[in-house]
């Protein structure tokens, strides 16, 4: 199964897997990092939602059922758009649209009905390890999104001041403004520096 290679390069900086999923569209103009179902699988492995050992099996299923893989891929893009609009609304202090919440509720119900509450040494987790439905990559994402929406971490949700990615601000004084300092922070500082210099030049001319 083809993957675009964008997934390897993608910055994972959201602080929550649901936000990392939303951030699979990169930059302005947007670069699509999920270009096919294979990218969705590769991303799931990269962020730890799918065991590397299960990757081959899921990719094999997708090859055998290309139409279902395409439908699951389209659903993933739709879910991502829904999550972006919900989380962006929260980050901007607005109410999320009821229509978006209904979509998320539907995914969460589906996720829980297909998942298994499993016990580990340190606690409990929802797992989807026995499922080979091609929608499987969407369930842990939908579940992570509702978990985040109902958690206390939600008040740390922010929108990057440079690129509109979403992230959880884990800094003590909640002062983080950028998805990544090296990318958006530096761009912004450079932009301000250029502006300031231009303004100084203008005022010297007057
Ligand atoms: Zn950014």
Is 22 in contact with 14 (CB distance < 8 Å)?
Answer: yes
Mean pLDDT across the chain: 92
Separation of CA 196 and ligand 1 centre (Å): 22
pLDDT at 2: 63
Ion ligand 1: residues, CB within 5 A, are: 160, 162-163, 165, 179, 184
| DSSP secondary structure letter of residue 96 | P
Express each pLDDT in 98-131 by its tens digit: 999 999 999 999 999 999 999 999 999 999 988 8
Separation of CA 187 and ligand 1 centre (Å): 9
Is 95 in contact with 89 (CB distance < 8 Å)?
Answer: yes
Q: Is the dihedral of CA 139, 142, 147, 148 positive or negative?
A: positive
Express each pLDDT in 54-67 by its tens digit: 999 999 999 999 99
Express each pLDDT in 50-107 by its tens digit: 999 999 999 999 999 999 999 999 999 999 999 999 999 999 999 999 999 999 999 9
Q: What's the pTM?
A: 0.89
């Amino acid at each position: 199964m083809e993957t675009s290679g964008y997934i390897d390069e993608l910055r994972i900086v959201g602080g929550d897997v649901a936000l990392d999923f939303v951030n699979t569209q990169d930059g302005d103009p947007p670069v699509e990092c999920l270009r096919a179902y294979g990218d969705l699988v590769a991303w799931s492995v990269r962020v730890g939602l799918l065991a590397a050992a299960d990757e081959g099996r899921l990719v094999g299923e997708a090859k055998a059922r290309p139409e279902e893989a395409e439908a699951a891929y389209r659903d993933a893009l739709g879910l991502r758009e829904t999550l972006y609009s919900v989380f962006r609304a929260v980050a901007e202090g607005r109410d999320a649209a009821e229509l978006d919440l209904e979509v998320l509720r539907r995914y969460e119900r589906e996720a829980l009905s297909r998942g298994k509450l499993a016990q580990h040494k340190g606690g409990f987790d929802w797992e989807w390890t026995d499922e080979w439905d091609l929608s499987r990559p969407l369930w842990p994402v939908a579940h992570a999104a509702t978990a985040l929406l109902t958690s206390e971490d939600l008040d740390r949700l922010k929108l990057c001041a440079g690129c509109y990615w979403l992230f959880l601000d884990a800094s003590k004084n909640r002062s983080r403004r950028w998805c990544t300092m090296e990318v958006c922070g530096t761009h912004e500082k450079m932009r301000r520096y250029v502006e300031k210099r231009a303004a100084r030049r203008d005022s010297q001319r007057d």
